[in-house]
Amino acid sequence: MSGIFRITRRDFLRNIGVGTGALVFGCSIAPDEIFADTDKLKSLILRGIPLSAFVAIKPLSGDITIFTHRSEMGQGIKSSLAAILADEAEIDWDRVTLHQADADAVGFGVPFPYAIPGAPAIVRAEDAQFTDSSRSMAAYYMPMRIFGAGLRLVMVRATAIKWGVKESELEARQQRVYHAASRRSIAYNHLLLEASKVKPLPEIDEIKTVLKRPDQWRFIGKTTMPFTDAKDMVTGKAVYGADVNLRRRGMLTAMIVRCPVANGTLKSFDASAALAVPGVKFVEPVLPANFPCTGGVGSNFVPHAGVAVIAENTWAAWQGRRALKVEWDLGPNESYDSEAFRDELKESTERPGKPVRWKGDVDAAIGGAAKVVEESYYIPHLAQTPMEPPTAIAIYENGSGWEIWSPTQGPELAQHYIGLAMLEPDLVQGLVWQAVELSELSRECEHETQKIFNESLAKRLGVDEATLFKMRDDLKKKVRDKVKVHVTLLGGGFGRKSNPDYAMEAAFLARNHPGIPIRVQWTREDDVKFSFYNSVSRQYFKAGLDAGGRPAGLLQRSAFSSFFATIFPPPAYVPADQGDIFAKARAAFHNGGEYLYGSSIELGQGLEDNPYVIENLRIENSPAPNHIRCGWMRSVANIYHAFGLCSFADEMANAAGRDSKDYLLELIGPGHMFTEAELRDKEHVPCYDNNLFPIGRKMMPIGGQEKEIMPGYPPDTRRLRAVVERVSKESGWDEKKGKLPKGRGLGIAAHRSFLSYVALVIDVSLNEANELTINEVHAALDCGRVINPDRVYAQMEGGILYGLSLALLGEITVKNGAVVQNNFDDYPVLRIHQAPKKIYAYFVEPSPEVVNDYPGEEVPPTGVGEPPTAAVAPALANAIFAAGGPRIREIPFCKKIVVL
Amino acid sequence: MSVFQLNVNGNRHTVDVDGNMPLLWVLRDILGLTGTKFGCGVAQCGACTVHLDGRAARSCAIDVGAACLSEITTIEGLSYDGSHPCQKAWVELGVPQCGFCQPGQIMSAAALLAANPHPDDPQIDNAMRGNICRCGTYPRIRAAIHKIAGSSS
């Protein structure tokens, strides 16, 4: 067995408390010694014997528990991943109970080469449960199949041992292994003893040979996919963050008054009136002024400074909070005003920015153009507002540490941030978390920055590299031992619940009151005012069209406040002597950029991967500082990049007097798969990140020999073209052209994000009062293989409506450093009467030519949660213009048209 | 603090709470009926919708003192086994995504259908526009209501 399973195995053994035995990642069988230890056996009979990190079986009943490790927030991933495993393992779904796993970063990591055949890890162990970037299926589809098939193979092999027959004569169906010749069968749970004797356990390469064929699947790719929580959700039994019942343990509820300005600090507070409210027990600061807010894996996800009112129930805490008087030192961000900042962004995009990708001579091309088109687009800060406001419960026990319940997209992130903040107050010491062995990195571009960081940190701490890594391992062990995180259902996430600031608040307060569960409950006002906002942005374009109306040259400038300015502390907050090491840490962390500029993540979301064929191209990132917390919202930087680029494509088409769809197809061209070498040689892309999924082909040692593999999913404009063609056909674009009545129009937009391809056609009407009606939305999606058709369709509907909501209504403004909006009355979101009644989604299968370029026999499944969202605003703006309405270059559209 | 007698889902409860406490927090924090959700606190989102004498009401904006005059039904009391037509249709059509707003959506829909068994689209809009869903399940909520009403949109 190769060394790549080392961490997982060790951790697994530690977790279940058994010794080393027959065990392989994803397909382990309880070792012999379990059966020799009566006490252990008793407990395992009751809660099931773990067959792997993902599956446990009860030896008497045969009932199965599948541990679901990704956070469920509406995408159906909890059932989908479990059903993939059950399908391949031939587990009887009627006997399956799903159990949401606790934070366990290493236990659920999928190391190379599970992710896709012959490719490196898509999700490192550290990110195993971080449910972001629409990547659960991309990362875990193949692993789940392998774990399932491995389990089935072991059961078959165990039967062969037990009965002395050939494996080839056996067949597993619904948790039983059948021997047709002797008409015998045996249940999985009666095979555990023999299964523990199957040594060595099968390796991945062998398991891959027994994967089911698609025609043998029960669930994968079918509408039979289960949706386990649906009934609990409609009967009120489903447990979300605030529903965890610890009242018998004396749970108290905290509400917090927070400093309205990011990075402000507490000056003073008067608790007397709050304490006079019946039911209020304590009033205390949440974060002291010197609370560590930096270090580690980017642990500046700390809460705003606050004062907590802790009471017997929510209402008492809320009343106490209203009575509380607090004074703040607002700090330098007090001067932040989003209206003024808008002008700052404008000025920034009027000057040359940092080059991101360039080829040819753009200035000459524009100078010699027959026609010049020049436009800018503005996208304000946006808040995610999941229906469930942030909430978390924490208990602290002296000695043992924290136990936390929270609806979180990042179980292990919550664990790590809380652990680091509480247990390693020294900022530089905390940075050891980020030391990474270069051999663990799969992207060439990471090596240099990580190497520099490792060396610099080791030097600063006065240790050698081996000691540095040991310090890191010790710190991680301490954090993981001391902080336990249970994950509840999420009442929506949309990126807000990636950031565990609310769990940090609960953990902090719990430490002051050992043994008492403290639930921190946010109000909607808290959620609107203290989000991690999608960044404000301005997108500038200038194109020179040739005589045929095609762009001979395109200049694009993107200005936005990078969320890296939130993840890492602003320079002003870092002590002078630590500035250098933090700069290096920032550079090493996910290829983070310099201050004022975007990270490779943001640049890779629709900016540097501009899909159009344009001879002379210059894409720049214009500098923008940051004054409030920025983070992620469903489709993130794609929101502003797609709005700009897909709107501008339509403006060029109109300037050229061309049909928008035909023009778009011409911009995309026949399509091709991007390669790293091509971009580096011909187009000067300094860092082509592709949303953290490496591109290009390289040689990797596989099975003892060098093999060419494709590590990841490079942009492929053949797939973008295909979704445009499909959505045009389905929406009847060509038939409707020129035949629509006055006041009605079609808009089109196509965008690749999170490795998937989406094209939308929106059909709108605008009456004389400028009132908007959305008649139809057509959406074509290529996400590789569709695993759960019903939930993918639901994500398309949901992603489109989320995009409509932000396009029509979304705007967060800031005055004097504080967010102006409060609740759904002044931060409106889409309601049922505003939602189009006709939404059609079409799944596009990649063409045989595309499939041929991917390893394996299919294009692996990719994201569906976020991809539909980004294309909505430009498609809608283009439709409104086509309907005779104004050209809208600014979100929210309700400023230009009437949204009833 | 005052003592109130509440009739919730056919059961009588005596609670001793601040008379201004909204019904929502009595249900959730005092009676432990957590199916009714907190979403906004200002009657803007509908997550806390319950029935007062069969009519949809936002429990975050009704004081316990006022609520005790009515028969209260929460999602837990809509049916004892999830067999209410709305609950069945919601599961059948796969309406929920995250599910958080759905108890409120279902209480609003159930009240609508009780008063008007065959609502048309404008009537659905009117009854349901007070219930926000951020996942975007509106098309399926509409389809589920039409299914129960035996109509098509």
Q: What is the pLDDT of residues A606-618, one digit of tens each?
A: 998 899 999 999 9
pLDDT > 90 fraction of chain A, expressed in percent and rounded: 68
pLDDT digits 0-9 by tens, A336-391: 999 999 999 999 999 999 999 999 999 999 999 999 999 999 999 999 999 999 99
Contact B97 A247 (CB under 8 A): no
pLDDT > 70 fraction of chain A, expressed in percent and rounded: 87
pLDDT digits 0-9 by tens, A834-891: 999 999 999 999 999 988 877 667 888 888 999 999 999 999 999 999 999 999 999 9
pLDDT, residue A420, reads 87
Cα-atom radius of gyration of chain B, to the nearest Å? Answer: 15
Report the alpha-carbon distance of residue A404 to residue A793 in Å, rounded: 34
Q: Is A837 on the interface with B (CB under 8 A)?
A: yes
Three-state SS string over A290-358 comes to CCCCCCCCCCCCCCCCEEEEEECCHHHHHHHHHHCEEEEECCHHHHCCHHHHHHHHHHHHHCCCEEEEE
Instruction: Return per-residue pLDDT of chain B as tens, 153 residues.
Output: 899 999 999 999 999 999 999 999 999 999 999 999 999 999 999 999 999 999 999 999 999 999 999 999 999 999 999 999 999 999 999 999 999 999 999 999 999 999 999 999 999 999 999 999 999 999 999 999 999 999 765
Structure tokens at B38: 């907190």
Tokens 């709050």 identify what position? A274
Q: Which residue in B86, B138, B146 has the most chain A C-beta atoms within 10 A of its own C-beta, making it the best mutation to test that interface? A: B138
pLDDT, residue A364, reads 98
Q: Which residues of B touch A805 (CB under 8 A)?
A: 134
Question: Is A301 a residue whose pLDDT tops 80?
Answer: no
Q: Is A6 on the interface with B (CB under 8 A)?
A: no
pLDDT, residue A876, reads 98
pLDDT, residue A42, reads 64
Structure pTM? 0.94
Weakest-pLDDT range from A73-87, A135-149, A605-619, A620-634: A135-149
Report the alpha-carbon distance of residue A125 to residue A106 in Å, rounded: 5
pLDDT, residue A695, reads 45
Given a contact cutoff of 8 angstroms between Cβ atoms, the answer to whether A207 and A153 are in contact is yes
Give, rounded to a whole angstrom, the gap between the first and last alpha carbons of chain A.
63
pLDDT digits 0-9 by tens, A753-771: 998 999 999 999 999 999 9
Weakest-pLDDT range from A627-636, A771-780, B122-131: A627-636
pLDDT, residue A175, reads 97
Query: Edge-to-edge, what's the strand order for the sheet holding A537-545?
Result: A354-359, A616-622, A551-560, A537-545, A371-379
Report the alpha-carbon distance of residue A363 to residue A72 in Å, rounded: 49
pLDDT, residue B28, reads 98
The ipTM is: 0.98
pLDDT-derived band at A28 (thresholds 50, 70, 90) equals: very low
pLDDT, residue A23, reads 30
Taking each helix axis from N to C end, the angle separating B138-149 and B121-128, rounded to the nearest 10 degrees, works out to: 120
Structure tokens at A483: 């902080």
Pairwise pLDDT comparison (B42 vs A133), residue with the higher score:
B42
Taking each helix axis from N to C end, the angle separating A872-882 and A637-655, rounded to the nearest 10 degrees, works out to: 30
pLDDT, residue A579, reads 86
Report the alpha-carbon distance of residue A677 to residue A681 in Å, rounded: 6
Which residue from A minimizes the CA distance to B106?
A234
pLDDT-derived band at A331 (thresholds 50, 70, 90) equals: confident
Which residue from B minimizes the CA distance to A835?
B138
pLDDT-derived band at A281 (thresholds 50, 70, 90) equals: very high
| Min Cα separation B99/chain A (Å) | 5
pLDDT, residue A675, reads 73
Query: How many degrees, rounded to 5, is the angle at CA B49 between CA B46 and CA B51?
Result: 150
pLDDT, residue A199, reads 81
Report the alpha-carbon distance of residue A510 to residue A523 in Å, rounded: 20
| Min Cα separation B54/chain A (Å) | 17
Q: Quickly count: other Cβ atoms within 10 Å of residue A239's Cβ.
A: 16
- Of A79, A75, A44, A78, nearest in space to A59 by CA: A44
pLDDT, residue A51, reads 78
Q: Is B33 on the interface with A (CB under 8 A)?
A: yes
Given a contact cutoff of 8 angstroms between Cβ atoms, the answer to whether B102 and B47 are in contact is no
Residue A464 class from Cβ within 10 Å (0-12 exposed, 13-18 middle, 19+ buried)?
exposed
**How many Cα neighbours within 13 Å face the side chain of A723?**
28
Q: Is B101 on the interface with A (CB under 8 A)?
A: yes
